[in-house]
Amino acid sequence: MNSVDPEENLQNVSDDVIPSKKETNEEVNDLSFDEVPQEEISNTESLTDISIDEILLERDEYLSLLQSIKAEFDNYKKRTDKRIDETRTNARGDLVEKLLPVLDACDAAVLQGADDVVAIRKALIDSLELEGLELVGKALEKFDPSIHEAISHEPGNEEDEDQLVIEVLRQGYFWEGKILRPAMVKVRG
């Protein structure tokens, strides 16, 4: 019988199939990167340059677009805030306008001699003045048709150059710089 050593047989097989380290290193050293054509390298560089320029242009376009959208949003926000403020002012003005008959009733009660109403009227006027209400129409002020409504007219002296308010029949009011209700007055002159 022929005796074969199994380890020797394994060694012979591994030498045939698996290259040695020395053979592998020699194959790698034989390869040269100089064999890549120079024109492929220059094409790659020019593509890189073009793509960088294109990327920069695209970036600038996006930046410009972002800035314009931001400006539009800021303008939208300002318009919305202004609209909200106007709506609040108008809503408060509507509420004050609904309270004007109460103030008129207080004024009528004071004219009739109800001294108890004076404190209520004053408290109501003070509260509303803090919110932006202004009284219009005082005796002996110059007549202004934009804030006064002349109910009656008395002839004046020749010395009087301007028409003067001599009596306020119904109080007028400003709200936030706008005339809410003109004062009803008696004018002389």
Beta bridge partners of 118: none
Q: Same domain for 125 and 144?
A: no
The answer to whether the beta carbons of residues 95 and 128 sit under 8 Å apart is no
Q: Same domain for 121 and 143?
A: no
The answer to whether the beta carbons of residues 129 and 141 sit under 8 Å apart is no
Count structural domains, the chain.
2
Q: Same domain for 95 and 137?
A: no
Cα-Cα end-to-end distance for the chain: 152
pLDDT of amino acid 63: 96
Domain assignment present for 44: no
Mean pLDDT of 164-177: 87
Q: Same domain for 156 and 127?
A: no
pLDDT of amino acid 34: 52
Q: Same domain for 108 and 137?
A: no
The answer to whether the beta carbons of residues 158 and 110 sit under 8 Å apart is no
CATH number reported for the structural domain that contains residue 147 in this entry: 2.30.22.10
CATH number reported for the structural domain that contains residue 73 in this entry: 3.90.20
Query: Cα–Cα distance between 163 and 189 in angstroms, integer?
Result: 4
Q: Same domain for 87 and 150?
A: no
Q: Same domain for 125 and 178?
A: no
Q: Which domain holds residue 149?
A: 133-189
Q: Are strands 183-188 and 148-154 parallel, antiparallel or unpaired?
A: parallel
Q: Answer yes or no: is pLDDT of 142 > 60.
A: yes
The answer to whether the beta carbons of residues 121 and 163 sit under 8 Å apart is no
| Lowest mean pLDDT across 10-24, 61-75, 117-131, 158-172 | 10-24
Q: Which residue has the tokens 């006064």?
A: 148
Domain assignment present for 122: yes
Predicted TM-score of the model (pTM): 0.55
Domain assignment present for 5: no
Which of 101, 131, 161 delimits the end of a domain?
A: 131
Q: Same domain for 172 and 102?
A: no
CB neighbourhood size of 117 (10 A): 16
Beta bridge partners of 178: 175
